[in-house]
A and B are shown apart, each in its own frame.
Chain A
Amino acid sequence: MLLVASYFFYSCWDWRFLPLILTTTLINYFTARGIEQSDSPSRHKWLITVSVTASLGMLAFFKYWGFFTESAAEMLTWLGFHADIQMLNIILPVGISFYTFQTMSYTIDVYRGKIKATRSFTDFALYVAYFPQLVAGPIERSSSLMPQITNSRKSRPQGDFAEGLYLVMLGLFLKIVVGDNLGFIADGIFAEDRDKLTGTEALVGIYCFAFQIYGDFAGYSSIARGVSKWLGIDLMTNFRMPYLARNPSDFWQRWHISLSSWLRDYLYIPLGGNRGSKLLVYRNLMITMLLGGLWHGAGWTFLIWGGLHGLILCIYRALGNSIKLPALWGRILATVFFFHLVCLTWLFFRAESLAQAWEMLVLIFTHQEMTPLANYGLRMVVFFCAPLMAYEIWLDKAHSLRRLETVRWGWRAAVYCYFVFMLIVFPPPVFGQFIYFQF
């Protein structure tokens, strides 16, 4: 039933890509079964190579072909050669990056002997296509999701309904109220002619985008987790108050956790992780973050975004322990400073070109002027985000995402009333597509 629902959900976007997800499913199912049934290490290697190559090959074709051919053509032209490379207008299948990484993690875990390959094809197909998280994650691990699919879900712990309700309400608030409202302002500012834009407007545009992408993506993850809770399946937490991070390492344990932990387990550690010389560790960090950036999208701006995060991680690794700040004020200062550092990287993520990102960056440092647009944008950020951030600080102080479930029910009702009020009275002018659907 869930499998049929999942395929129906996927085909609502474009049924022509159903064979693609089925192909990925079939390849990974049979290669994992092949690894399970064989004792030969060479056969294991051969099968895992086939599986990874096929998965990454499909991802590369659909997501990166245009980018690489275009870049190659530009490079050849720049070098003075006549480039006549055939460009293909390929539609990016929604969610391909998510389900490719999810299936790869399954096959790699079977290869590593961490889990057993499942016999049931339908269970595995559901693992790949499970609809709440199919198109924008969280990227689940087989060790967590497969047992929940395989085993009976008749008895559920007390509080599942309440948690599901909380997650769905929070997700709707994040997506519709925070993400879409601020996204509309960010869209306006990033569309402004550079010669008319002021540095203050640019800065406000970046703040808006920072909360747009957080609201949009964390909102989706939260709704996915909440709906899944009601269906009797626990999905992993994908966000934990990321803008309260005090350093890059902390940030990546709070932002898109399912991807950062995937990159850590299947890329960073296999590359050598923290082992080896400092230079090797820096190299591993840079490769991981650059590929993490490229995972988000086929474009130079995403590569730069990943590269900047890699650089920040390297600098933090080199200097982090030598910086000592006084307790409370130090923590506040570190949080504010790191938030702005993250905002700097968002500039490259959101900009339509490197030139735009650079021009906006220069404006921020050279042309500060409060205009009606900047004033409006800034106050809207405060209006929509201040209560959210206050709530997150309250959660963070208790180190719990579920603190609201532990207080008296009246407080929970009051928070939900606030969510409902904001959802009804402050819907965005335009409902935005989920940003991460394109990844």
Chain B
Amino acid sequence: MATQHHDYDALPTNKCAPSWLQETRVILVVLAFIFLLELIARIIAPTLDFDRENIYAFPETISQLEDAAESSGKPKVVFYGNSLMLHGLDQTLVKEELKGLSAPDIESAKVTPVGTAMLDWVYLYRRYFSAQDSHPDVLVVGFVAHHIHDQEAIKLRRLSRHFVSKQDLPLLWKTDLKDFHLITQSVLCNISALEGDQPEHQLGILQTLVADYKKGLNRNNDLVSDWQQRLAQEAAQGNEDLATKETEETYQRMLRFITECKKHQVKVYFVPMPQPEIWDFNPEAQRLIEAKGMSVLDARSIPGMTPDDFSDGYHLGDSGKVKFSKWMAKQLSQHLQ
């Protein structure tokens, strides 16, 4: 133990100074600790939460779809998107409805990682479909307004870890990340489960240790976000160019997605999803989709759908799921003919 001495910055004697050998040992222990953490992170990753389970099952889901379609000869339909499509569509019901409508039968799968948007879908498609050379005949993409434009924030850790393949990292840096810090982070997240799944580890620990963590965090996030918006508005005041630029939506990511699908002769149906209130679908997005030879199946206003059909004001509940699935089957029956 240290002897008492009152010069805060001095060691009791120079002999107390750690040697190179000691410090090398310290560094080796720290490195071993990091590897151990990484190992644990990799082991727990597939069962970390429902979403991870879902993501880790994609290769199997896609492979099963491929096998089923190969043996049955039916067209392959993939319902693609995020939690809106995940909770909003019942595949069994769609198939039953298709039978009832005397439409061609289908083999289907859902690829719907929660909280994702267009950029995730671009890389997800490249990693799980293009890289395996296993393409669906039809891709049905469910979304609401912010999911498809380029102004949607990138969730870099998740994107880099679960959707971008190693081969696609240079593409990500070239087209989507310009900042050195972000590029470094994307590499770290791609190669390390500890880095890539960090938000879930943090959430798990803090939810256990800190009462009201989620409530308090959400409240704090709202406050900071409002504050930043206020600051941005103040900065934009008197600068009309800035104010106008912020409201402009662009769709380069969506065009890349369409190009990728088109390259593999995949027909894409874009489905603006139902919400408790009808939302504005940018006509420019629709024009671009149609100009590229793809279609929009507008589900924003399904007859008979009411706000009670939503479980949480955003996702479809049980009754909404039925209505949407029936509607979807009807649309598919017309288009698959």
Please report A residues at the B interface, Cβ cutoff 8 Å: 157-159, 161-163, 165, 184-185, 187-189, 191-192, 237, 240, 372-377, 379-380, 383, 398-403, 405-407, 409-410, 412-413, 416-417, 420-421, 424-427, 429-430
Whether A420 contacts B30 by the Cβ 8 Å rule is yes
Q: Per-residue 0/1 for B193-236: is the Cβ within 8 Å of any A Cβ (1 yes, 0 no)? A: 01100100110011001111101110111011011001000000
B299 vs chain A, min Cβ distance (A): 34
User: A406-B11, A409-B25, A426-B202 given as contacts; is B6 within 8 A of A399 (CB)?
Assistant: yes
Question: Contact residues of B with A, CB < 8 Å?
Answer: 1-6, 8-12, 14, 16-20, 22-23, 25-27, 29-30, 33-34, 37, 194-195, 198, 201-202, 205-206, 209-213, 215-217, 219-221, 223-224, 226-227, 230
Cα separation A23 to B10 with both chains bound (whole Å): 37
* Other-chain residue from B4, B22, B195, B215 in contact with A409 (beta carbon distance below 8 A): B22
Total A-B residue contacts, Cβ distance less than 8 Å: 149
Q: Which residues of B contact A429 (CB under 8 A)?
A: 221
Interface pair A162/B198, CB less than 8 Å apart: no
- Are the C-beta atoms of B37 and A424 separated by less than 8 Å? yes
Contact B220 A158 (CB under 8 A): no
- Determine the distance from Cα of A106 to Cα of B29 in the docked complex, in whole angstroms: 44
A379 to B216, CA, bound (A): 10
A247–B118 Cα gap in the complex (Å)? Answer: 57
12 A/B residue pairs, CB under 8 Å, sorted by A: A162-B22, A162-B26, A189-B220, A189-B223, A373-B220, A376-B217, A377-B220, A379-B211, A407-B1, A407-B2, A412-B26, A427-B198
Cα separation A399 to B12 with both chains bound (whole Å): 11
Q: Does more than half of chain B's interface fall in helix, strand or loop, or is it mixed?
A: helix
Q: Which residues of B contact A375 (CB under 8 A)?
A: 211-212, 216
Candidates B11, B19, B33, B209; contact of A420 at CB < 8 Å:
B33
Complex Cα distance A184/B20, Å? 38
Q: Is the CB–CB distance between B30 and A417 below 8 Å?
A: yes
CA distance A427 to B189 in the complex (A): 14
Given contacts A401-B9, A402-B9, 18 further A-B contacts (CB under 8 A): A187-B224, A187-B227, A189-B220, A191-B224, A372-B216, A373-B212, A373-B216, A375-B212, A398-B5, A399-B5, A405-B16, A405-B18, A406-B16, A412-B18, A416-B26, A416-B30, A420-B30, A424-B37
Closest to A427 in B: B198
Q: Which residue of A lies closest to B157 (CB)?
A: A427
Check A159 against B216 for contact (C-beta < 8 Å): no
Using known A-B contacts A373-B220, A417-B29, determine if residue A403 contacts B2 with beta carbons closer than 8 Å: yes
Residues of chain A within 8 A of B226, CB atoms compared: 191
Q: In whole Å, how far is A121's beta carbon from the nearest beta carbon of chain B?
A: 31
Out of B8, B224, B227, name the residue touching A400 (CB < 8 Å). B8
- A-chain residues with CB within 8 Å of residue B224 when the two chains form the complex: 184, 187-188, 191, 430
For A379, the chain B residues whose CB sits under 8 A away are 209-213
CB distance from A429 to the nearest CB of B (A): 8
Contact B33 A417 (CB under 8 A): yes
